[in-house]
A = this chain, B = another copy of it.
Amino acid sequence: MVDLTHLMENEVFMAFASYTTIILSKMMLMSTVTAFYRMTRKVFANPEDCASFGKGESLKQYLRTDDRVERVRRAHLNDLENIVPFLGIGLLYSLSEPDLSTALLHFRLFVGARIYHTIAYLTPLPQPNRALGFFVGYGVTFSMAYSLLKNKLYL
């Protein structure tokens, strides 16, 4: 049996695992932020979620959209759209024997940029703060994709 510890002894792979776990955990926290605003602002998407507040007509006032909740949901969706490519391309990139310091630079920039993106989205900070966070993360993923396709293309 292949000793899987060995994969986790590879420094690039361990770094990828750590940074990915951190950024996916951050993404999961967006669900909690959404739930927090839904509770405190009494804004729900499903009738069963606010059943304890009333019945019939009085329920409808809770089934609406709210700027704050929609903002968190947009930030969450943007995370999904950008972290999924990082997860796939980053995993394959980590297995393609990149230079450790180059790989660390990619992972750190991505994680930093996405955390900055979330802060800029939720505060909200004036543009181009959010755009900056977005494009740094975007560029990092494309840089890994380019490196992967240049070295390992097999179609």
Query: 8 A–B contact pairs at CB < 8 A?
Result: A2-B6, A8-B152, A20-B92, A21-B92, A28-B82, A48-B125, A48-B130, A76-B81
Known interface pairs A20-B92, A127-B48. Does A31 touch B81 (Cβ–Cβ under 8 Å)? yes
Which 3 pairs between the two chains have the least Cβ-Cβ distance?
A: A2-B6, A14-B154, A17-B92
> CB-CB < 8 A to A71: which residues of B?
46
Interface residues of A, count at CB 8 A: 66
Contact check, B24 vs A138: say whether CB atoms are below 8 A apart. no
Nearest chain B CB to A49 CB, angstrom units: 6
Nearest chain B CB to A144 CB, angstrom units: 8
Q: How far is the CA of A15 from the CA of B148 in the complex (A)?
A: 11
Nearest chain B CB to A6 CB, angstrom units: 4
Q: Does A59 contact B (CB under 8 A)?
A: no
Q: Does A113 contact B (CB under 8 A)?
A: no
Partner of A21, one of B1, B22, B89: B89
Within 1-50 of A, Cβ neighbours of B (below 8 Å) are at 1-11, 13-15, 17-22, 24-25, 27-28, 30-31, 45-46, 48-49
Q: How far is the CA of A134 from the CA of B30 in the complex (A)?
A: 14
